[in-house]
Amino acid sequence: MGRNRLYSAMAVALFSVIIAGTTAQGSVRVGIGFRFGFPVYFRPWGPCYPYYYPYYPYPAVYVAPAPVYVPPPVAAAPVAVAQPAYRAASTPAPPEALPEPRRDEGVQQHLAQLASPDERTRSESVIQLGRLKATQAVDALAATLAGDRSSTVREAAARALALIGSSAALPALQQAASTDADHDVRHSARFAIDVIQSGR
C-alpha cells in the first residue's frame, strides 16, 4: 500500500508541473499515463522467493566396477640340479700272498746275501727277511745281530727279529741289549724284546 501512495503523489506532482509550464505559454497539452502493477508470487507463496523450482532427487546410477583380470598361475618347470658325483673311496687290495715255493725262494736268496761283502746288501736282505716273517731265518738273523761287523746291519737284524716275533730270538736280543757297543743296536734290541714279550 505504501508503494501505491508514493506512485500517486509522484503523478500529482508531475501533473502540477506540467500545468504550471503550459499556463505560461498560453496553450496546454496534457498527457497523462498510468501504469499499474502488482506483485505476483509463485510457489512456495512467499515474497522472499520469487523464483522457486521444486527439488527432484536424481535417480541412483549404479556404475559396475571394472573387471579385474587375474592371469592364471604359471607352473614353473622344475629345475634339474646337478648332484655332485661322489666316488666311494677305494680300499686298496690286500697284498697278494706269495706262493709258498716263491716265498721260500725269496727267503733262501736273502739268506744267501747275508754273507755279501756289501753292507747295504746285507742290511736290505735282513729287513726283507723280517717283512717276510721268515721264522726259518731266526737263527741266521740272531748270528748276524751277534757278530756282524756293521752296526747298521746289526740294528737292522734287531728290527727284523721284532717283525718276526719269535721267542727263539730272545736270548740273542737280550745279549745285544746289554753288551753291544752301539747305542742304536741296544735300543732296537730292547724294543724287539718288548714287542716279542707283549705278543704284538
Domain map of the chain by residue range?
100-198
What are the cell numbers at 48?
Answer: 522472499
Q: How far apart are CA 102 and CA 10, in angstroms?
A: 166
The CA radius of gyration of the chain, in Å to the nearest whole number, is: 73
Which residue is associated with the grid cell 757297543? 181
Architecture of the domain spanning 100-198: Alpha Horseshoe (1.25)
Q: Decide: pTM greater than 0.75.
A: no
Q: How far apart are CA 130 and CA 106, in angstroms?
A: 12
Q: Are 194 and 179 in contact (CB under 8 A)?
A: no
Q: Are 110 and 125 in contact (CB under 8 A)?
A: yes
The alpha-helical segments, DSSP class H, found in the chain are 2-25, 100-113, 119-131, 138-147, 151-164, 170-179, 183-198
Q: Are 140 and 109 in contact (CB under 8 A)?
A: no
pLDDT tens digits in sequence order for the chain, 200 residues long: 556 676 677 777 776 766 665 554 445 455 555 565 555 555 554 455 455 555 556 666 767 777 777 777 776 666 666 666 656 556 666 655 555 556 677 889 999 999 999 999 999 999 999 999 999 999 999 999 999 999 999 999 999 999 999 999 999 999 999 999 999 999 999 999 999 988 76
